[in-house]
Amino acid sequence: MLGGWRAGERDADARYRRTTSDSSCNELLCIQIGNEFAASQHHIAIAVWFDNQAPPRLTANFCAQSVEGRNQAMMLVQYRLDLDFGVEIPGIPAVLNNFILPVEPIALALAQEKQVTSRIATWLARGGRASGDLAQSGGC
């Protein structure tokens, strides 16, 4: 089931590679806004799947993860608004909703978290440093 998500991730990775070489930290933040909203939607889909399977603790966990992803996206939106930059909310890849085994949504969530961490730690930070937008303190 992860194949569809991974295809969407490859598209996002390609978009990141294209933009990090010639874009500012602010443009990369716009892409990250979409990534955070996508993660939020995936977590909702996982929570709904687990809710149908009846393990309530996992449902609550993924609902909380969804809210966290949405809040992170909204913080990036607010950052751009505070600097008087325009904000355009990007579309997101299709969300996976159907899983067969309980390990599939957990593997999806883990893969997503690793991908987000990698993007923030490498591409976004590198893009910010390259454009002079990222201060030594670690913020854009």
The tens place of each residue's pLDDT in the chain, 140 residues long, gives 445 545 555 555 555 555 444 567 777 888 889 989 999 999 999 999 988 886 678 888 899 999 999 999 999 899 888 888 888 898 888 998 889 998 999 999 999 889 888 887 777 777 777 766 654 433 44
Is residue 140 included in any domain, yes or no? no
Asked if residue 122 is part of any domain, the answer here is: yes
Residue 20 class from Cβ within 10 Å (0-12 exposed, 13-18 middle, 19+ buried)? buried
pLDDT at 2: 47
Indicate whether 39 belongs to any domain. yes
Residue 138 lies in a domain: no
34 within a domain of the structure (yes/no): yes
Beta strands in 6-99 (DSSP E): none
State residue 12's pLDDT score.
55
Tell me if 139 is assigned to some domain: no
Note down the domain range covering 93.
2-131
Per-residue pLDDT at 125: 73
- CATH number of the domain encompassing residue 100: 1.20.1260.10
